[in-house]
Amino acid sequence: MYKIAVDAMGGDNAPEAIVAGIEQARDKMPDTEFLLFGQLDKVKPLVKNEERLTLIQSDEIVEMGEEPVKAIRRKKQSSLVMAAQAVKDGEAEAIFSAGNTGALLAVGIFTVGRIRGIDRPALLTVLPALDGPHDAFAMMDVGANAENRSTHLYQYGILGSFYAQEVLGYDNPRVGLLNNGAEEDKGDPIHKEAHQLLKHGASQSYLNFVGNVESRDLLQGPADVVVADGFSGNAALKATEGTALAMLRLIKHTILDGNVKTKLAGLMLKPAMKDIQSQLDYSQHGGAVVIGVKAPVVKTHGSAGPSAVANTMGQIHTMLETDLVSKTEAFVAEHKSDLSKSAE
């Protein structure tokens, strides 16, 4: 039986959406128990069926805007910190929250703890690939770190490969390095060195490095794992999301502001537009993962509804079922000196 610790108070729609999503997931996952941490006077009335749910009182809440490290150090009785502590103490195997991303990252690093040999855990997200062999790719770091060294990027290539292989089910996933050009000598010294390290990893058959990828090609699926430093990864992710939203809005306004013919054409295009929307909806692949820590630590977006919460539980279940963390830990332990060295 798997056990997932849940921060029932995190997110804009908490605890309602969280409890409803967990109940949906519970009904689909007969081998999983959920530990719900939250203010029980608010959580308990929402629960329809307590089967495989354990409700645990936590007096405090880490708010969305709070400074992460201070919040987790001061609010030991918060739903987030208590859920993370349950993982640290071995009472649960994974933690989920829809709340403050920085605070979840902080409990991931400081409470759950880093995998030995991984210098800087990262945030990994799965995005749609509109072309190529698969319909989605994993990208990391999308914002856990403001600065990265080349060795971090090398380690992300390994962590991302394990994720794509075990959780997304890709055979020999293609790893690309987000850079400002396809050629090997592109980028700043960190990216040039990271390129050499990833190439070395490929020569040792640790991963399948396919070279640099550019941000304009990301959604075309040039790689199954895109390695980025936290700053560039975050900027690329937000630019991609923003552009997609702006394009959809532009199409909508052009139709709505057009003449009768345009509106009729818009009506006919509606099913196709819905299809595009569902292809771009990456919440079907679950939430963002704090990767490089000793247990699955997963975040779904703050405004997530019950089905996004349930999808994320499915993603955590796959991570537990495939034993992603142990496999990654074993590999990193075996190749520790290689993964921490700089390119010569």
Partner 1 sequence: MERQEILDKVITLVADHFELDPASITGETNLTKDIDADSIDFVELVLEMEDEFGAEISDEDAEKLITVNNTVDYIASRAK
Point out which residues bind partner 1 (CB under 8 A).
69-70, 73, 109-110, 114, 120
Give the shortest CB-152-to-partner 1 separation in angstroms: 12
Q: Which is nearer to partner 1, 44 or 149 (CB)?
A: 149
Q: Which is nearer to partner 1, 190 or 251 (CB)?
A: 190
Q: Which is nearer to partner 1, 69 or 235 (CB)?
A: 69
Q: How far is CA 243 from CA 42, 46, 240, 248, 270, in A?
A: 38, 38, 5, 9, 20
Give the shortest CB-110-to-partner 1 separation in angstroms: 5
Give the shortest CB-295-to-partner 1 separation in angstroms: 16
**And the tokens for 76?**
């030991």
Q: Is 202 exposed, middle or buried (0-12, 13-18, 19+ CB in 10 A)?
A: middle
Q: Which is nearer to partner 1, 110 or 282 (CB)?
A: 110
Give the shortest CB-292-to-partner 1 separation in angstroms: 12
Give 193-197's long-range contacts (Cβ < 8 A, gap of 24+). Answer: 193/150, 193/342, 193/343, 194/150, 194/153, 194/154, 194/227, 196/343, 197/150, 197/151, 197/153, 197/154, 197/342, 197/343
Q: Which is nearer to partner 1, 46 or 69 (CB)?
A: 69
Pairing of strands 136-140, 174-178: unpaired
Amino acid residing at 89: D
**And the tokens for 77?**
């009785």
